[in-house]
Structure 1
Amino acid sequence: MATLDAYGPPGNLDDLDDFGRKAWNKFISDTVDEAIQGPDPRQVLNDSPRPQFYNLTGTDTASDVQRVSITWTSFPRIIKITSVGDLQRWQRADASRDVQDEYCEWSVTRDGSGKITRVTFTCEGPEYWEVLAHTNPDKVVDLYRAFISPDVRKEDLFSPSGRYQPRNKWNDSTSHGAMHLIQANNTLGAEIELAAAATIRRVVNGQELSTEQELVNCSKYGAAERNSDPHIGAGVNALARQRADISLADPVGLYFDDLSTDGWETPDGSDPRSYWTYVRGDSEHRVRAVYEVPQDKGFAVGDITIGGRPIEFGAQIADFITIRLTGLACRFDGSTAQPQTACKEFPAVDVRPEGFGASAFSTSGRFLDPRPTLSYRSSRAT
């Protein structure tokens, strides 16, 4: 198979003009290349390079290619395991987008009585919107008006200097709209970095690591308590252990996988799955979804029950949503990359590395944190 001419936009969306598509391809390609290189080995040990990860625009995909779908539940597991009971976790998850850290965020619309009438979900990364805003700001305004509110004004989204504000009045809460992801860890750069880091095989004390928890704790590519990070890492590493070359399928993105409505009941006996609608992205790459009952049905989302309990929180629906990414693997048994024989480490150093200012040092001159300041492209926190 030939190399890819250019990376396409998430969901194969058609918002970008020609210049925007070129800018997007460059962003993804550069981010993949950075992930292949890995962190500076003078600052981070045992985490670079990542030779089993490859760029689709620079390396061909062999004929033995396998597409591997990795899915996880969108409800934030960190909230689940730190809450006392369902009611508390649903309340906490609905209270702030900052805790919705499984690459899925949502906003809830209620009627005058407080009953839910609509829940909007998004898994669109912020980087796409940064590129779109830079290349076609008017299109950004049009999309907000179409999907969030006709009342959106350009000055609501852009600073006086013309810079797009991802966290704006229409995209910073769980009640006034969700245009794209804003939680600090929910970025495409984080997805790419995590996938690349997970291609490193780990043989520690003569034993090759293979389980979700031992891999994420050793490779430190995310939070061990999340649904997404350990599961993505283990899925990718399973391919790496088959000595395959690995990449993320084009178009690179996070996508809705499915909504399960087992145990749901509607007042009129209609199929509760029928009120779930994908409204953005192509049929294989859905990036925006809405759960809403048409007005002529005579009931609302809040009248539907899950396990006998009425839907009172968007988080109840998130329990049943799965998100996915798709990896590519080829040239099985062909990689000559050797495994790392130790876990990722952040050593303290006594020599001031180039590019770091005095603020990176303690008063004694000892370097406090050898990790470079990360942009949003690779900010998946541990």
Structure 2
Amino acid sequence: MKKFNTPAYQGEKDFKQHPHLGEQLENAWSNYVKYCTINSITGNPWSSTYDNPRSWYYSPLVDNVIPTEKNTVAIQWNAFPNRINHYFTDLFTKKFGKDQYEDKLHELADIGPGVFGKKYDMVLTVPKNPCDPSDTGTKPFGPSGPRGWQDEYCEWAVTRDENGDIIAVDFTHENPEYWFHMWKVSPDIVVSLYQEILNNKNVKKEDLYLLDSSGHPVIVRETGEPAYNPINKWNSGPDANAAGGGAVHLTSPPNSLGAEIYLGAAATILRVKDNKVITDANTLICAAQYGQIYRNSDPRIGQNVNSLVYNHNQQVTLTNPIALYGQMPDFDQFEMPSTAGKYKIEDCYTVIRGEERNKGITFYPSNMLLHTRFSVPPGANFKLSDIKVNKKPLKWGSQIADTFFVQLAGTGKDPAAGEQPEKFPPVGDPATLLPNVQYLLDNNLLQASLYNKLNTFSNLTSCITQVEAGTTTDGIAVLTNGAVKGTNFDFGPGITVTVTDFQNVDSDTQLFLITIKADANTTLGEKPLSLYNNTSDPRYALSGVLEVVANGSLPKMNIIPNKSLLSIQQIEQVQKILK
């Protein structure tokens, strides 16, 4: 395989009229997935024990294994947020009664814990450490964000009429990283796609800009264009109307492609406790410290990947094109009203993006749906709220989410003769922390992202930071863990780093402001970064943080580098991100 394809091969459609830009996107996208794969195989040797290496996760760019029906399995889970069921079924049964608790669970899944808590005068909390029953501490139910609680790689926005009846529900499974990369290639195409997906010409380019604390767009040094705000007014929250809201792509912090690949690789390590291999889904998550216990998605993904290794002795990769894909609903769970006439429930269902069946160059099982919509066909004499789902009137979008699954797939390959998978104890804390990188990006972009609470409410840009050969670039921010003021930066030959400022964000998190000098004869391409406090430290590189491009290939911008350290408010935001 020469490259990773875009989700459901969507890039070919999105840039059909602009093939030269499409090629840029597809190359950048393939590189991003490649770096995610490399880092996921590396695991976490910096702050965990028994999480490196993950040698039974392979890259299809290295091992040429063609996905087929025989070596590829679908991994599916229900789209409804299972943590809502797990934590609140008993509580809601006591508070609202046996006849109402299901309705309230669905309402919570639609409107979120903040609005729900205010409406019913409740504070919704969950265990602070669900993997440790002895820890009696609690925390607010999350994740945070406009749709943070919709954490099964499925988010939705509901459109209602003036009477509060549902007239449309949009479901999205698209990862945010794809949209960041599209924006970097062409903001205009992103705007046109927003208008097309939402069927709303009111979407303007400036609506999608990331603004700083003064209300000004943050200009990206590498493009000369304003940065993208993933929780803009048209992709924010569970409600939609002509003036705002909507669900274009995923926003909940756990719903990222990088997290999916990292989880898949982590699950290839067999975990052993009391001389027994752990096979229970939630116990495995706690032992390996990937994902979130009691979700539908993370435990199912981890258990299925782990089973391919343990029960079938297969090395594993997530199947190209790697993405989260919605599946067709079980239409038998719907009951149409008597006024529906000739219309069937299938007539209320539209695939907006993706494919019902794979039309790509390799095998991929089941549906490849990225964005779907439930709405009443034009001219029909009924509303969505007249439809019943599992014998209950349709009041909430989450009732529909209950009727379908989300999927990814894994492709196995036989190991070399005599090769055995790693069997490690549960992940632990090392005696000495090694310094590691959390983020590397221009400081103006970092500070605006913190001001907008990205990565607490959504995801921070996934695009690689670029510098030109033969230039010096100031104002680069590096957030780290386990570093000290004298930590060294190693990008390899031809790259010199000068630390211009340093800030302890908390006891384990640090901010470096650095200047990067790339020699004129530096080899072009991606430069993995290793940090080390002492020359004797083992060095584990993080890929996909810096790329050296040809001199003159970036726009000449008169942007003053931001060299300010974090404010108290921004420090608090970083602590929320990294805790």
Q: Normalising by structure 1, report the TM-score.
A: 0.89
User: Match for 1:21: what amino acid?
Assistant: E
Are 2:346 and 1:273 aligned?
A: yes
User: Match for 1:43: what amino acid?
Assistant: S
Q: 2:106 maps to which residue?
A: 90
Write the distance in 2 (CA, Å) between the matches of 1:248 and 1:343: 23
Between 343-352 and 118-127, report the one with greater CA deviation.
343-352
Equivalent residues of 2:177, 2:256 under 8 A apart: yes
Within 5 A, what are the aligned runs for 1:61-76? 61=65, 66-76=71-81
Equivalent residues of 2:336, 2:387 under 8 A apart: yes
Between 79-88 and 105-114, report the one with greater CA deviation.
79-88
Equivalent residues of 1:198, 1:234 under 8 A apart: yes
Are 2:179 and 1:129 aligned?
A: yes
SS in structure 2 at match of 1:297? coil
* Aligned-pair CA distance for 1:187: 0.4
Write the distance in 2 (CA, Å) between the matches of 1:361 and 1:267: 60
| Aligned mate of 1:81, from 79, 86, 92 | 86
Equivalent residues of 1:223, 1:381 under 8 A apart: no
Within 5 A, what are the aligned runs for 1:150-299? 150-159=201-210, 160=217, 161=219, 162-175=226-239, 176-241=245-310, 242-268=312-338, 270-282=343-355, 283-284=357-358, 285-299=368-382
Q: Normalising by structure 2, report the TM-score.
A: 0.60
Number of aligned positions between the proteins:
366
Between 26-35 and 335-344, report the one with greater CA deviation.
335-344
CA, structure 1 residues 63+119, in 2 after alignment: closer, same or farther (shift >3 Å)?
closer
Write the distance in 2 (CA, Å) between the matches of 1:63 and 1:177: 35
Between 126-135 and 283-292, report the one with greater CA deviation.
283-292
Within 5 A, what are the aligned runs for 1:137-148? 137-148=187-198
Equivalent residues of 2:71, 2:412 under 8 A apart: yes
Q: 2:48 maps to which residue?
A: 44
Write the distance in 2 (CA, Å) between the matches of 1:69 and 1:60: 20
Write the distance in 2 (CA, Å) between the matches of 1:63 and 1:140: 31
Write the distance in 2 (CA, Å) between the matches of 1:27 and 1:166: 18
CA, structure 1 residues 8+263, in 2 after alignment: closer, same or farther (shift >3 Å)?
closer
* Aligned-pair CA distance for 1:267: 1.1
SS in structure 2 at match of 1:19? helix
Equivalent residues of 2:347, 2:377 under 8 A apart: no
* Aligned-pair CA distance for 1:92: 1.2
Write the distance in 1 (CA, Å) between the matches of 2:337 and 2:62: 55
Q: For structure 2, which runs of at least 5 residues remain unmatched after alignment?
A: 16-21, 93-100, 113-146, 211-216, 220-225, 240-244, 359-367, 436-481, 488-502, 509-539, 546-576
SS in structure 1 at match of 2:77? strand
Q: 2:157 maps to which residue?
A: 107
Between 228-237 and 341-350, report the one with greater CA deviation.
341-350
SS in structure 2 at match of 1:119? strand
Identity %, equivalent residues: 32
Write the distance in 2 (CA, Å) between the matches of 1:203 and 1:273: 47
Write the distance in 2 (CA, Å) between the matches of 1:24 and 1:263: 38
Q: 1:366 maps to which residue?
A: none
* Aligned-pair CA distance for 1:333: 7.6
* Aligned-pair CA distance for 1:195: 0.4
* Aligned-pair CA distance for 1:119: 0.4
CA, structure 1 residues 351+255, in 2 after alignment: closer, same or farther (shift >3 Å)?
closer
Equivalent residues of 1:244, 1:335 under 8 A apart: no
CA, structure 1 residues 192+381, in 2 after alignment: closer, same or farther (shift >3 Å)?
farther
CA, structure 1 residues 48+113, in 2 after alignment: closer, same or farther (shift >3 Å)?
same
Q: What value does the CA root-mean-square deviation take over the aligned residues?
A: 2.6
User: Match for 2:189: what amino acid?
Assistant: K
Q: 2:400 maps to which residue?
A: 317
CA, structure 1 residues 62+295, in 2 after alignment: closer, same or farther (shift >3 Å)?
closer
Cα offsets for 1:149-202 (capped at 9, x unmatched): 210000000231200000000001111210000001000001100100001112
SS in structure 2 at match of 1:240? helix
Between 13-22 and 316-325, report the one with greater CA deviation.
13-22
Write the distance in 2 (CA, Å) between the matches of 1:48 and 1:11: 31
CA, structure 1 residues 271+289, in 2 after alignment: closer, same or farther (shift >3 Å)?
same
Equivalent residues of 1:260, 1:273 under 8 A apart: no
Q: For structure 1, which runs of at least 5 residues remain unmatched after alignment?
A: 363-371
Between 310-319 and 253-262, report the one with greater CA deviation.
253-262
Write the distance in 1 (CA, Å) between the matches of 2:54 and 2:321: 21
Are 2:306 and 1:301 aligned?
A: no
SS in structure 2 at match of 1:224? coil
Write the distance in 1 (CA, Å) between the matches of 2:171 and 2:433: 47
Equivalent residues of 1:203, 1:339 under 8 A apart: no
Write the distance in 2 (CA, Å) between the matches of 1:263 and 1:36: 41
Higher strand share: 2
User: Match for 2:333: what amino acid?
Assistant: G
SS in structure 2 at match of 1:25? helix
SS in structure 1 at match of 2:354? strand
Equivalent residues of 1:110, 1:118 under 8 A apart: yes
Between 116-125 and 238-247, report the one with greater CA deviation.
238-247
Write the distance in 2 (CA, Å) between the matches of 1:94 and 1:49: 40
Q: 1:12 maps to which residue?
A: 9
Larger radius of gyration: 2
